[in-house]
């Protein structure tokens, strides 16, 4: 039987109004749950990191092909649809160096293995607490900032 990984804590991010910010070095959010999207976008904007929001896979691909220099993509597994591995592979082929963080309420060993095979190593089991979320986003931002300044 396949092993599943889950998280039970509740999401504790702030719930304030959010807006898109068109920026050169942005984080792209691809989350279908409105409450999680609002919480994540508010937290990222509080960190003063530019943000783009993709409403579906097509919009995500348009953002990536539209000349935006993304720091990374935070994508909810359910956003990807039935064949999550194929969708992730398509995104990764567009920019092999792009860090992708997959947020999932549960994930399987098989999904994790297929994700690793296409170059995705970052997971956030959701719901997650605010400190964990901010730590992941800060690490992503810090890593990419150092990379750009080399």
Domains and CATH numbers, the chain: 21-129 (3.40.50.2300)
Classify burial at 40, counting beta carbons within 10 Å of its beta carbon; exposed 0-12, middle 13-18, buried 19 or more.
Answer: buried
Q: Over its length of 150 residues, how does the chain's per-residue pLDDT go in tens digits?
A: 444 443 333 332 222 223 333 444 788 888 888 888 888 888 888 888 888 999 888 888 888 888 767 888 988 888 888 888 888 888 888 888 888 888 888 778 888 888 888 888 788 887 777 888 888 888 887 765 444 433
Cβ atoms of 101 and 44 within 8 Å: the answer is no
| Structure-derived torsion over alpha carbons of residues 5, 101, 48, 19, reported in degrees to the nearest 10 | -90
Q: What's residue 20's pLDDT?
A: 38
Q: Residue 138, SS3?
A: helix
pTM, two decimal places: 0.72
**Measured between alpha carbons, how far is 15 from 40 in angstroms, rounded to an integer?**
9
């Amino acid at each position: 039987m396949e092993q599943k990984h889950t998280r039970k804590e509740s999401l504790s991010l702030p719930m304030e109004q959010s807006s898109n910010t068109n920026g050169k070095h942005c984080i792209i959010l691809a989350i279908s749950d409105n409450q999680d999207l609002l919480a994540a976008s508010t937290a990222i904007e509080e960190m003063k990191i530019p943000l783009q929001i993709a409403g579906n896979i097509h919009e995500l691909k348009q953002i990536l092909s539209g000349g935006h220099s993304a720091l990374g993509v935070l994508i909810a597994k359910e956003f990807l649809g039935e064949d999550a591995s194929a969708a992730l592979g398509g995104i990764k082929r567009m920019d092999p160096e792009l860090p992708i963080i997959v947020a999932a309420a549960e994930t399987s060993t098989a999904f994790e293995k297929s994700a690793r095979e296409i170059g995705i190593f970052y997971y956030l089991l959701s719901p997650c607490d605010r400190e964990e979320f901010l730590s992941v986003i800060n690490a992503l931002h810090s890593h990419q900032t150092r990379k750009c300044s080399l």
